[in-house]
Amino acid sequence: MPKNNSTHGSHKNRRIVARGVLRETPDIRTLARAAIRLALADAQREAEAQQLAEQHPDRSRRTRPDRIQKRSREGDQS
């Protein structure tokens, strides 16, 4: 009988079988509620970030229009 690395050795009866699992149809109500909760949490996060940006404009990541005008005026003077 062949030794290791042979395709016809004592392991020829080993087979890998993958079978699908029959599941019930997904509960649309549960999925819809989860999607609504995610959307509400995202909207709340955005509202809090916007409120924080309005309270502390110096912490905002966006460049303010008055800074753009000031820079362009400084560039014209040189």
Residues in contact with 61: Cβ distance below 8 Å, sequence separation at least 6, in sequence order = none
Q: Which residue has the tokens 């087979």?
A: 15
pLDDT digits over 18-63, tens only? 788 878 888 999 999 999 999 999 999 999 999 999 888 776 555 5
Dihedral angle sign, alpha carbons of residues 32, 33, 36, 42: negative
Q: What is the pLDDT of residue 22?
A: 79
Mean pLDDT of 5-13: 61
Residue 66 has pLDDT above 80, yes or no: no
How many residues are given for the chain?
A: 78
Name the residue ranges covered by the structural domains of the chain.
Answer: 27-58
Residue 78 has pLDDT above 50, yes or no: no
